[in-house]
Amino acid sequence: MMGQVEKVRKPTGVNNMSNIRLAETLAAWIILALSTAAAPSNNLDCLTCHAELADETLVMRHVAAEEAVTCTKCHGESVAHVTDGTGAVEPDLPFGRNEVEALCGECHGGHEDVEAVEAFRREWRGKRRGTGTVIGEDAVCTDCHGEHRSVESGDGSWTPLFNGMDLAGWRSEGKALWRVEKGLLVGGQGEGNAPGDLFTEGSFDDFELIVTFKVIWPANTGVWFRYQDAGTAYQADVLEYKNPVCWTGSLYCPGKMFLSKNENESLVKKDGWNIFRIRAVGNHITISLNGTQVSDVHDDSTDHGRIGFQVHPGAQFGDMQVRVREVLIRPLTP
């Protein structure tokens, strides 16, 4: 809670001091109101924005439980998320694939009949469940019991490009090392600080792309898109560049260097998860980092190509890791 807000005295005349005091007090009251906003009382509040989850299996089962489990039970009160309204602020407790079992275990514990579970996994391994997920060696609770992804409602369906289990649908080029570890796509240099890239097998033209990632610094990596070859592509950069000064979210184009520069270092969560939202429609490209637009460019260098991730060469990046939690794409119409 904030300290006591000083009572505003009615000004006796027009002067700078009274105007400043009034502005300071009004600002304090606004902050206080936001900080004490009511958290969602039930799932209906959340479904105002996340309507696609209304009949989602996992949601329905939890709400129907003897002691109804609402969104806030797992994701926290998330007042800032609720009052933001732009989708830029994450819930208090977002969860990646590698965190699912620990979360479920808080209420459900482990399976009582371990042998039955293993038999079930053997039966379904390599097969697609009704949830749309193919059961793999590292299956987690939501692979079998349903999952939800609270991406925005609206025209166009989102498709995950990374399944959280393996590198199906991706192809490595170069000598960088790529693997899936606890539900995350992880990339780093190969032997002798060798660089490399990981690309989708498919090609895309006009789209919106969401990538949730974090890195171990120092790093120089990024998200390739509309990649045709090493000289024809775009990259949403993840880096700390000194000359010219630019940070993660800058738009790089081979042969043209930076088409736009993010000069606001404070937008980058160096030790946390970041979200890129990349839109490419015709020759218009925008990049948002954690809800703030950092690039807005018209350029005709390439109009289609693959999506991918880069690991840069250099001994100074020897300990770098790029970790990707989610890659979602939906087609757009010019």
Query: Range with the lowest mean pLDDT among 20-24, 100-104, 111-115, 246-250?
Result: 20-24
Distances (CA, A) of 150 to 46, 53, 60, 147, 321: 10, 7, 15, 10, 27
47-55 contacts at long range (C-beta below 8 A, 24 or more positions apart)? 49/87, 49/152, 49/153, 50/150, 50/153, 51/153, 52/150, 52/151, 52/153, 53/148, 53/150
Longest dimension (CA), the chain: 82
Query: Range with the lowest mean pLDDT among 33-47, 80-94, 162-176, 218-232?
Result: 33-47
Q: Rounded to an integer, what distance in angstroms lies between the CA atom of residue 287 and that of residue 278? A: 5
**pLDDT number for residue 175:** 93
Q: Rounded to an integer, what distance in angstroms lies between the CA atom of residue 306 and that of residue 229? A: 9
CB 211 within 8 A of CB 310: no
**pLDDT number for residue 85:** 54
**Which pTM value belongs to this model?**
0.60
Query: Range with the lowest mean pLDDT among 115-124, 205-214, 293-302?
Result: 115-124
Reported confidence tier of residue 176, pLDDT bands at 50, 70, 90: very high
Quickly name the fold that domain 159-331 has.
Answer: Jelly Rolls (2.60.120)
Q: Of how many residues is the chain composed?
A: 334
Q: Rounded to an integer, what distance in angstroms lies between the CA atom of residue 109 and that of residue 328? A: 31
Neighbours of 280 (CB within 10 A): 24
pLDDT exceeds 90 at position 177: yes
| DSSP conformational letter for 154 | S
pLDDT tens, residue by residue, 85-98 = 545 566 777 766 66
Closest CA to 144 of 58, 50, 52: 58
Indicate the SS3 state at residue 102.
Answer: helix
**What percentage of the chain exceeds 90 in pLDDT?**
30
**Strand extents, DSSP E, the chain:** 159-160, 170-174, 177-181, 184-188, 196-200, 207-216, 220-229, 232-242, 245-253, 257-262, 274-281, 284-289, 292-298, 306-311, 321-331
Reported confidence tier of residue 50, pLDDT bands at 50, 70, 90: low
Query: Both ends of the chain: CA-CA distance in Å?
Result: 48
State which amino acid sits at residue 110: G
> Looking at the chain, which residues constitute the CATH 2.60.120.560 domain(s)?
159-331
Q: Rounded to an integer, what distance in angstroms lies between the CA atom of residue 297 and that of residue 288? A: 12
Mean pLDDT of 208-232: 91
The residue to which tokens 């699912």 are assigned: 100
Mean pLDDT of 127-139: 64
Mean pLDDT of 182-200: 91
**pLDDT number for residue 208:** 93
Mean pLDDT of 250-276: 88
Closest CA to 226 of 297, 151, 127: 297
Reported confidence tier of residue 300, pLDDT bands at 50, 70, 90: very high
